[in-house]
Amino acid sequence: MNKGNVTKSSGQIPKILLILIGAIIVVVIIAVVVTNIVRKPTTPSPEEIEEEKKPELVYEVVIGDIKFKLKEAKDIGSVLNASESKYPEWQQKDLTTTEKFIEVTIGAENIGKDNIQQGFWEMNELIDNEGRNFYSSQETEPWIPVESKCSALLKPGFAPTPCTKIYEVAKISTGLKVRVSSRQTGISFGEEKIFIDLGL
């Protein structure tokens, strides 16, 4: 009788080993499949693709010997208050718009060796992402800071000269840029297409 029991139990050991080996193989196969799924790159969403396509914003450019740099750009609303103008005693009325006013300040620095004469550089129109152009107006001049020296003489090695302008812009405008220019390059102001992003 003992012999029969020994035979039965010794026959069960190979079955258990086969089951264990089979289970290990299944676990290894599952692990390999899961690893391959995790490693596969996922298809990027349309938002991720759009984000990758966006160009980097440019806040500083050099034209000839002039370095132009954005100092500040801000939406100042739809009303320029008479009391906040440079001449509150003469400025009797607020200046209003149905759209919005954008105040832009750039710095212009002479990085060359010689003076750059007055009138040889300029901050021009704004352009939005739809290609619409917006120009500064003499009407906004009373709200331009006294420190603003657009187109002034630039001496080499001096601190950047500030230039501030206020533009009336459509409410729907986004992706605003300002065009800057210099006569040093021999290209007329209207032909140069060099822009600084405003981040608005």
Mean pLDDT, residues 55-82 taken together: 94
In a 13 Å sphere around the CA of 163, the CA atoms on its Cβ side amount to 25
Residues 84 and 173 in one domain: yes
Categorize the per-residue pLDDT at 150 as very low, low, confident or very high, splitting at 50, 70 and 90: very high
Higher-confidence residue of 88 and 99: namely 99
Q: For residue 76, give the CATH number of its domain.
A: 2.60.40.1240
Mean pLDDT, residues 139-148 taken together: 93
Mean pLDDT, residues 91-105 taken together: 94
Residues 137 and 66 in one domain: yes
Find the domain containing 124 and state its range: 56-197
In a domain, residue 51? The reply is no
Mean pLDDT (the chain) is 86
Residues 10 and 61 in one domain: no
pLDDT of the residue at 24 = 86
Strand pairing class (194-197; 161-169): unpaired
Residues 17 and 61 in one domain: no
Q: How far apart are CA 110 and CA 64, in angstroms?
A: 9
Residues 66 and 162 in one domain: yes
116 contacts 110 by C-beta, under 8 angstroms: yes
Residues 79 and 28 in one domain: no
In a domain, residue 48? The reply is no
In a domain, residue 97? The reply is yes
Mean pLDDT, residues 161-179 taken together: 97
In a domain, residue 45? The reply is no
Q: What is the pTM of this model?
A: 0.71
120 contacts 166 by C-beta, under 8 angstroms: no
Number of domains in the chain: 2
123 contacts 66 by C-beta, under 8 angstroms: no
Residues 155 and 101 in one domain: yes
Q: What is the pLDDT of residues 20-31, one digit of tens each?
A: 787 888 888 888
102 contacts 143 by C-beta, under 8 angstroms: no
How is residue 172 written in tokens? 């729907």
pLDDT of the residue at 22 = 79
102 contacts 176 by C-beta, under 8 angstroms: yes
In a domain, residue 49? The reply is no
- Range with the lowest mean pLDDT among 5-14, 41-50, 188-197? 5-14
How is residue 109 written in tokens? 């620095």
Q: How far apart are CA 59 and CA 70, in angstroms?
A: 5
Check whether 121 has a pLDDT greater than 80.
yes
pLDDT of the residue at 112 = 95
Residues 89 and 176 in one domain: yes
Residues 146 and 186 in one domain: yes
What are residue 72's DSSP bridge partners? 105
